[in-house]
Chain A
């Protein structure tokens, strides 16, 4: 596939936003059970603001992908069948939840609504946090399923796609939260840093697993099935257009296999190994920058590696 920068930014940016929110609410939940020191509301409000910033930026990026952004509202229509439609619904819902969560913290509007049997209070931000968490996961699933549901894009058609969206988004969010905590909530920085390392490691494993899986894929479609001629040697001579077409622009990355390999090593280094080292060394901000750049490469690779069966029909001109 041709990696579109709009989608690369959309998915990586909202991933950070989702992860960041999850990190915030993790801290708040732990704190609610006194497993972590209580943090000032300001930390959650700030965190929510940053998360929202990433989500809005992602949303803006997504508009660049559309031929008719003014009609984007229409895309909520087919939520029964389309993961994209679901994403379109869940993303603003999640943004709303993040906003309310941040606003509640910022405005100090956080009355206790109930008390758990254990005695832990259930206040407004907890409810909003649980809702936000559910929506964050729903959004991860929607985003992942947009790709994973396309069964003939075999590189994507695996649970690993959804898992990796969760892990990569989660990791990047936790890394960023760690960096935020370094000055806004130093008390939880270590806790967050630990989770950031765990999630980055899990994401590394998940992504490596996907790489290993994809390396062993055998394309289900071949020229034999594509044109229905049973012969081991079929070579295209002409695709019917010599100046290129939508089919050659949208579905090919246009780079060499060597370039693709290089990108793979770059993202493995930048998104996982380097951030792990930097996190271990306590340089969370640098870790985030490295990891985010790495994720851009990772996402570029994610698209580029996906080999669309339509490409069988677009191999040669003459």
Chain B
């Protein structure tokens, strides 16, 4: 007889989603309850390890913050009060689809879809495009778009999903400006191996926590001055001749001649041969070098020629020209270490030493791998060379309004050292490298937005020139967030942080419906939180909401859900199908493309429905072409069916998943839909890993074998080399437009100076815009946040275990700075910027630069949110720094986003504050406070005592 008392044990594999890392996990179930989640040892990303968040997935799954029913705001209840009544999904769908159908039939841009830390941008983007609205983006604009744009516009790839440091082979690793953020487990795995192998790890950061803690050397730096440091290092590298000349000549545009005829419309552009080239989204190889031997211009990469990198020359027609490297050298001439010392607070001697360590390590510890490959110019190489100096950077560089140029400087430094896609340096991850810039483009006219039609182009793209901007005849933005407008021309991830303010103000226009997925725009994902909450609830003269309808899809009772008119309960990651798609942000490794899936291990809780199913249902009801046949009949049963059968174009063979395509699962990247695709992923640890031949694994910008393979696999359209843009023509094109040159569109008058200033083809240092607009004697301290490793990206459920580690937060202040301000350790203090103030507790620290104060991000919560008790530490003792950060800055009588003027990256880390002790007698509670939220219908009661045991007791 079978033992009926023994618990039923199962192990199911899927992909974690406690943060954005996407580790492979094994979920151990006991009698249908999650008993244990551990890392999947077979998974390439995490190799069996798991982090604090991943190990706390149980407490997310069974969190009382979970929403379980669709909810409609009670008639008469104010937004923000969180007063809802449960409705059926049918009601929810009909409310939404009726409303959206009307919008689509009149003016599709009145519908805006913005999503948070989701991993389904390929689908959400498709939905928005099919709907016909340009108003779509994910959270990249307020996350790290500078990191993506700054590097992709320079080397065709970036960090995190796009590429990363090869710490297996690096000898020197410099981490600059990571706020304990991306990447999580892979970085930890690599870093510990690197240290154990004797590598030298230097961390440049205002704060010494987490990764920086184990650095061999911590170099404290003032926030926002990384650009100055990097430019000074470049200065020193060039001055000492420590750059990899061969690499620069062959693989970058260092030797290309720049037209310096100021009268010419082509001023600042590369000179080109007359040879007509096929037009396309690639960099044609028609530029010139000045050959050293013949002392005359030649077409680049001409066999047997070697260009001058330095010097100035005159063409036969008298045009003065210089190699772009010469311009770079001139640019950094005055960026001396002594100059940078004054800005960064790092001694000049240290800057010099760092530059020399980088240069000498790159030069003297070369790696030669016996891997033969052929470059784009047909030259065979017997080996792959590596200069083992690796870098990693993230939000610390990105979240400043000067971040784009800082990151360009970093990418240029990495290129000078000859470390791009080479062993021990930076390595790309498929589908990167991309052409510079990548081919995707938005429409460039408001005419692309038409009733009852899909958007004629992508909602997000990569402008290559002013004519690519998404603006109208008058140069006004088409998008609600003003992305791809003259204000932020290269805002490749949109500006989600300005959507609510813009929609509220009706600038550039009013919208009707705002659908937010998984983004806490009424709290930690927004700047100027208190005001934005008011905007969400604000009404016009007629008593109508300024943003007429807000729908929010989330799995948890966030602060944002309280402001929704309609709440759609999402599932957790354990209850859904998902794809980490090559069309979006796959989890590729250095050695080849990888994509992966989630497969539900538990049934949905309550009436929860995955957001993908919501989109497919809505798309079907709205009869969007991608989701219905010509006759208007439903194409896809559900999301899994969609994933298997959707093709980018009929018969294209390209779908969301790259693995096991073709009828029998025999094809990769391209192939007919495979009805058993999910099953095959399921049998293979939920991950498809295509390892490239060794000869395709390096030098991929210029590796003909790889580029051909990539073209055959339809990863790229062109198999053309991707030269590194030390000197950026893209930026120069915008500058020329601002100078009134050429036949392209011209910026509106009031933005001409801005464009001309910031669209510099070479990186330069400027004080962040907010700092320029701040009296720094009044507000002397930079205030930044760090992402706590045990919480980051998991602050969406107030996890019972994790919140015991971080229940509330302090403002960390350098002990000396604090004492000078009369602030003792643990004192209640006020933190004021010119935009707002908070009350919180101070914690003395010796691990923070004296001009910086910082706190853990997103620990503070609104009272009662997330189904915490109103007296929970998060709301009474925890605080949100966002209250002192503005989403806009005044500029010449206008208001402009507090963002990078090039990319629209939210400048979170630019704020300047002052701190003071609160008066005696003030309440020992953080401020501001908000009226406590009450639990919504359908939420589980929160326990006051919990002895969690999965299954039955043995």
Q: Which residues of A contact B (CB under 8 A)?
A: 235, 237, 240-243, 316, 318
Contacts and interface: CB of A to CB of B under 8 A. Distances in A.
A242 B845 contact: no
B807 interface: yes
B810 A318 contact: yes
A95 to B, nearest CB: 38
Contact of B873 (A237, A240, A243, A318): A243
Contacts of B805: 240-242
Contacts of A237: 843, 845, 847
Nearest to B826: A316
Given A241-B804, A243-B804, 10 more contacts: A235-B844, A235-B846, A237-B843, A237-B845, A241-B805, A242-B808, A243-B807, A316-B843, A318-B809, A318-B810
Nearest to A240: B805
Given A237-B843, A243-B873, A318 B812 contact: yes
Nearest to B843: A318
A243 B873 CA distance: 8
12 contacts: A235-B844, A235-B846, A237-B843, A237-B845, A241-B805, A242-B807, A242-B808, A242-B873, A243-B804, A243-B807, A243-B873, A318-B809
A146 B807 CA distance: 37
> What 9 A-B pairs have minimum CB-CB distances, sorted nearest first?
A242-B807, A318-B843, A318-B810, A243-B807, A241-B804, A243-B804, A242-B808, A240-B805, A242-B873
Contacts of A242: 804-808, 873
Contacts of B806: 242
Contacts of B812: 318
A242 B801 CA distance: 11
Nearest to A242: B807
Interface in B805-859: 805-810, 812, 843-847
Contacts of B843: 237, 316, 318
Contacts of B807: 242-243
A241 B806 CA distance: 7
B147 to A, nearest CB: 28
Contacts of A316: 843
Contacts of A243: 804, 807, 873
B interface residue count range (under 10 / 10 to 19 / 20 to 34 / 35 or more):
10 to 19
A242 B802 CA distance: 10
Query: Which one of A241, A242, A243 has the highest number of Cβ atoms from chain B below 10 Å of its Cβ?
Result: A242
Interface string B45-72: 0000000000000000000000000000
A81 B809 CA distance: 46
Query: Which one of A235, A237, A316, A318 has the highest number of Cβ atoms from chain B below 10 Å of its Cβ?
Result: A318
A318 B846 CA distance: 14
A316 B841 CA distance: 13
Contacts of B844: 235
Contacts of B804: 241-243
Interface string B774-810: 0000000000000000000000000000001111111
A239 to B, nearest CB: 10
Nearest to B855: A318
A237 B807 CA distance: 14
B798 to A, nearest CB: 13
A64 B808 CA distance: 34
A318 B877 CA distance: 11
A243 B798 CA distance: 14
A241 B807 CA distance: 8
A318 B809 CA distance: 6
B802 to A, nearest CB: 11
A290 B907 CA distance: 68
Nearest to A233: B846
A254 to B, nearest CB: 16
A177 to B, nearest CB: 48
B812 to A, nearest CB: 7
B218 to A, nearest CB: 15
B276 to A, nearest CB: 65
A240 B803 CA distance: 11
Nearest to B811: A318
A243 B808 CA distance: 9
Contacts of B808: 242
Interface string B547-563: 00000000000000000
Query: Which one of B809, B810, B846 has the highest number of Cβ atoms from chain A below 10 Å of its Cβ?
Result: B810
B549 to A, nearest CB: 40
A241 B790 CA distance: 12
Nearest to A238: B805
A7 to B, nearest CB: 26
Contacts of A241: 804-805
A235 B804 CA distance: 21
A235 B844 CA distance: 10
A47 B845 CA distance: 62
Contacts of A318: 809-810, 812, 843
A313 to B, nearest CB: 15
A237 to B, nearest CB: 7
A285 B925 CA distance: 50
Contacts of B809: 318
A318 B806 CA distance: 8
B439 to A, nearest CB: 47
A235 B873 CA distance: 24
Contacts of A240: 805
A235 B812 CA distance: 14
Nearest to B878: A242
A242 B807 CA distance: 6
A172 to B, nearest CB: 41
B144 to A, nearest CB: 26
